[in-house]
Amino acid sequence: MTPANFDHWVRLDSGPGAPAYNMAVDEALLEAAPALGQPVLRFYGWTEPAATFGYFQKISEIERVTRLRPLVRRPTGGGLVPHDADWTYSLAFPPAHAWHALRATESYERVHQWLRAAFARLGVAAELAPCCRKEIPGQCFAGHEKSDLLWHGRKIAGAAQRRTKTGLLIQGSVQPPPGADRRDWQQAMGDAAQTDWGAHWEPWEISGALAGRVRELVETKYARADYNRRR
């Protein structure tokens, strides 16, 4: 795959999914990134309220700070993220893509600059946090980290990442400002990437062997209590 082909990005609109399914799809996309050979932007929702937590977190600590259930361990790091009214997305980049070579702080800042540009198209003036403000340990939206997206001083977007030899996975959550429309935001994300990076979008769906791998990850990992409670 030549670098020029990285101008072609694929968009996956998954719709609402079960918590275990959502995490399985994102991990499957990371595994499949070299074969796909193109960046994938996935938008998805939730069939029920849930919370995800970072791969390295202890579930006993998470159970104490949220009443949301089920609790599902993410394939990425980060803290506790409630999924009861958020807009969720993920990005998967193949290992030869320029995003994969970025330092974690750089890719974190870049994805939130992208979100800022998208919201600006909707008339929402957001900004990146210049520094940190911790309030409750382990909770992604209580306080903020450097380069989180803020609106009127409140965090509205955070993300978690994982880099492997197969690619880069970014999982992001947006707590939308009042009056924002989800479909308009998704369109603005695509438009901003086209303007800033020359991205050409292609619609895409999961099928074949990748769909089978998603089912396998649900059954053997994300729907299993022994996996989610492993720490």
Partner residues linked to 157 by β-bridges = 149, 174
Task: Name the percent of the chain in helix, strand, coil, to the closest 5.
Answer: 40, 30, 35
132 is catalytic: no
Contacts of 106 (CB under 8 A, 6+ apart): none
Rounded Cα gap, residues 192 and 117, in angstroms: 6
Catalytic residue of the set 30, 40, 41, 140: 140
Burial class (CB in 10 A: 0-12, 13-18, 19+), 28: buried
Active site residues per annotation:
140
